[in-house]
Structure 1
Amino acid sequence: MNKIVFITGTTSGFGEACALQFAKNGYNLILNGRREDRLQNQKHYLEDKYGVKCFAAPFDVRDQKAVFETINNLPEDWKHVDILVNNAGLALGRDQFDKASLDDWDTMIDTNVKGLLYVSKAIIPFMIKRKKGHIINIGSTAAKEAYEGGNVYCASKSAVDAISKAMRIDLLQHFIKVTAIHPGAAETEFSLVRFKGAEDTAKKVYEGFVPLSAADVADVIYYTASLPAHVCINDLVVTCTQQANSFVINRSGTIE
């Protein structure tokens, strides 16, 4: 059986681009997302186009019971997970701390932090048993510097950064690689979700510069996963040329 990559949040954005990139390179895929209809369409498309095998695992990473039930009940052949990409995540709102929504905070913490922990905890025993594996956690430049209105989103991605460091230490004895990838501004559904469907506000985020695309980030993720067994990229920050950090961007015009 080809190598297996388990990707959370594959129905849009980075996750969808990752699924395409890994399928194109012959990996079999476990596709996870909340929207089962999209998962099934994605599964059939990737199988037909690239001749790989796909397994649809529809669950919400926030649902601890669903995570463990689904993963523990995978067919035996699908438990040989070589790579886990913890991609599922989101930002909600851009309100200052005193005005922010508690519901938004809960959703970000439950998805970005607890969801990553649940999926990792369920998958890691498969890797330990085989004495190999690679966990790739998708963070953000927001993990590196807090910015106005970022509060809990920045905190949740800082947690991903810290969890990745701790995982790397604890799983070293099992020969499991851990990579944290921190993308900067990337034009996906991210801002549309953050601003709750307000398209004009979402578009303004990317005005005056050329942001990353989902495919750009997927290329980087695939590169870190395709290195020799003895090589691990531990921590990687990737931005577009016009972005210096989580909040400094040159918006003076687009570049070639």
Structure 2
Amino acid sequence: MIILVTGATAGFGRAIALELAAAGHTVIASGRRRSRLDQLAAEAADAAGTLVTRALDVTRSLAVGETIAEIERNVGPIDILVNNAGLALGLAPAQSVELDDWENMVDTNIKGLLYCTHAVLPGMVRRDRGYIINLGSVAGNYPYPGSHVYGASKAFIHQFSRNLRADLLGTRIRVTCLEPGLCGGTEFSLTRFKGDADKAEAVYRGTKPLTAEDIAQLVAYLIGLPAHINVNQMELMPTCQAFGPFAVSRTRDMQ
């Protein structure tokens, strides 16, 4: 199978690209950092499958369309799209965040996913086969302080994935929203805290979180299921994480 993985220069995307190349697939690993892509290609040089790279910023709609058209001309039709590119920025309350951070999350988490899906989907429909795996998050299902636009963007992915399946009824195209909880060993928290390594490390202190390799194995599992099975969504957390109690603010003035 020919599989396009976005955001493959780190974290989930990197692990997914390596896992799928090792399983014998042809993987197109895309991302913004050319040097990281070169390292990834070298690491996968002895894989059972083939890993090729494409520098791509998913927030640029024209670049997305041109890159996907070039891939389908020179590599082949894309069988599977893994919409992984995304990020979180900050944990400050909504009333004190920078608007640029909100716009960056919307551009990457929502618009980037839409651009890639819009470019790939018509070909899948013509061929009557394909699979779109969208990386959501438990943050799209459960609110927490500081999640505001990040959580809302993941809720969008959750509902968009469901609505895609509604539109695709009668085709053999599958859509899954994969929704992980606490996951360590990636750049996620370092990016969220804008390079503050101490804050990023504190998120995982004393825990055994999920890993990028766990997510990659789940993607491989989903791809390996019989073609008539559609997993609408898959939510997972490490055992060290669970659901929080309702928050209640109490002051003397309210008594």
- TM interval, short-chain normalised: over 0.9
User: Per the alignment, in what secondary structure is the counterpart of residue 80 of structure 2?
Assistant: strand
The yes-or-no answer on 1:183 pairing with 2:187 is: no
Q: Deviations over 1:188-222 (max 9, x none)?
A: 11000000000000011112221011101111111
Contact 1:181 1:237 in 2 (8 A): yes
Contact 2:23 2:49 in 1 (8 A): no
Instruction: Show the counterpart of 2:46.
Output: 49
Count of matched residue pairs = 245
Instruction: Show the counterpart of 1:233.
Output: 231
Q: Deviations over 1:119-146 (max 9, x none)?
A: 0110112211210011000000000011
- Larger-gyration structure (1/2): 2
Instruction: Show the counterpart of 1:254.
Output: none
Contact 1:184 1:245 in 2 (8 A): no
User: Per the alignment, in what secondary structure is the counterpart of residue 163 of structure 1?
Assistant: helix
Residues 247 and 220 of structure 1: CA distance in aligned 2, closer, same or farther (over 3 Å): farther
Q: 1:241, 1:51 → 2: CA distance? A: 33
The yes-or-no answer on 1:210 pairing with 2:171 is: no
Instruction: Show the counterpart of 1:129.
Output: 126
Instruction: Show the counterpart of 2:63.
Output: 66
Q: 1:169, 1:245 → 2: CA distance? A: 30
Q: CA deviation at 1:8?
A: 0.3
Structure 2 unaligned residues grouped into runs of 5+:
247-255
Contact 1:93 1:195 in 2 (8 A): yes
5 Å-filtered alignment, 1:35-184, equals: 35-46=33-44, 48-76=45-73, 78-184=75-181
Q: CA deviation at 1:182?
A: 0.3
Structure 1 unaligned residues grouped into runs of 5+:
249-256
Identity %: 43
Ranges of 4+ aligned residues in structure 1 off by more than 4 Å = none
Q: CA deviation at 1:174?
A: 2.3
Q: CA deviation at 1:149?
A: 0.8
Q: 2:73, 2:40 → 1: CA distance? A: 22
Task: Provide the aligned C-alpha RMSD in A.
Answer: 1.5
User: Per the alignment, in what secondary structure is the counterpart of residue 79 of structure 2?
Assistant: strand
Contact 1:33 1:60 in 2 (8 A): yes
User: Per the alignment, in what secondary structure is the counterpart of residue 57 of structure 1?
Assistant: strand
Q: CA deviation at 1:56?
A: 1.6
Q: 1:126, 1:237 → 2: CA distance? A: 29
Contact 1:67 1:119 in 2 (8 A): yes
